[in-house]
Amino acid sequence: MTNVVNLSDLDVHAFIDGELDGARARKIEDTASLDPGLAARIAAYRSDKALLKRAYSRLAEQPLAPEWEKLVRGHVPARPAKFAWRLAGAIAAAMLVTLGGLNVYMSRSHTSAGDVVQAALAVRSDDANARMSVAVANLDDARRYGERLRQIVKANVNVPDLERMGYRITRLGFYDSAAEIQYRDRQNKLLTLYLRASDGKTRFDQFEQHGVRICVWQDDRISTVMAGTMSAAEMQRLASLAYLGLAA
């Protein structure tokens, strides 16, 4: 049995999803009743799951793309060595709803995210080629450029507010067919959000490359790449908050 004091993220999600046997689940419940840290962790993940279901309910109403259905039906669930997204507790939560509760683990190379990730990282490392780069003091200042953002990405989106996660907006960069929004935390660590029009294909992924955590998601409207130096769990929460903020 897993030591409940050192539960992994996947163990916590399994407990929340009701996948554990009765004895194991009761042991975790008993431990959580005496351990405020574990109780807070469980509560936080439950809150994240509810947030993600609300955020991606629109996608759940759409037919599942044939390539995703083929991947799901032909994939044997396995516990990944490092990190992979559970559809119940990650950015692809809506797919879980579509499939009627099937738990799936996606372990994919970051190359599957294609050139949108390469473009986002190129802009992140050098924004000198922006057609327009604007330093902003706060969210209200940034949202003055909302119409330009919507014109470039060809979607009705807004500048997300990430301050509840400790990230304040500092700069906007506009390119011929893409935009980048920069945020900084209290330690001045950079978080970037890269946006451009979608090619119509749906995809979700999270991985680490050269010390940078990357989250890429794409629906029928926009392709989005978030990049920063942080844990997978923090990136998951920031991506969820950004998705809601874009649609707000």
Same domain as 76, residue 116: no
Same domain as 130, residue 44: no
Same domain as 238, residue 140: yes
Same domain as 162, residue 138: yes
For the stretch 133-137, contacts whose Cβ atoms lie closer than 8 Å and that sit 24 or more positions apart, written own/partner, are 133/171, 133/172, 133/173, 133/174, 134/171, 134/172, 134/173, 134/174, 135/170, 135/171, 136/169, 136/170, 136/171, 136/172
Same domain as 91, residue 33: yes
Within a domain: 1: no
pLDDT values of the chain reduced to their tens digit, one per residue, 248 residues = 445 556 776 777 778 878 888 888 888 888 888 888 888 778 777 766 666 665 555 555 555 555 555 544 554 444 443 333 333 333 444 433 333 333 333 333 344 444 899 999 999 887 667 889 999 999 999 999 999 999 999 999 999 999 988 999 999 999 989 999 999 999 999 999 999 998 887 777 888 888 999 999 887 788 999 999 998 888 888 888 888 888 86
Tell me the three state secondary structure of residue 169.
strand
Rg of the chain (C-alpha set)? 19
Same domain as 114, residue 102: no
Between CA 219 and CA 65 the distance in angstroms is 11
Of 47, 71, 106, the residue that ends a domain is 106
Provide the number of structural domains found in the chain.
2
Which of 174, 170, 169, 171 is CA-nearest to residue 132?
174
Domain containing residue 70: 7-106
Structure tokens at 201: 């294909």
Of 78, 106, 134, the residue that ends a domain is 106
Between CA 38 and CA 29 the distance in angstroms is 10
Between CA 124 and CA 117 the distance in angstroms is 10
Of 106, 137, 154, the residue that ends a domain is 106
Within a domain: 2: no
Strands (E), 12-165: 85-86, 105-106, 132-135
Same domain as 238, residue 121: yes
Between CA 117 and CA 208 the distance in angstroms is 12
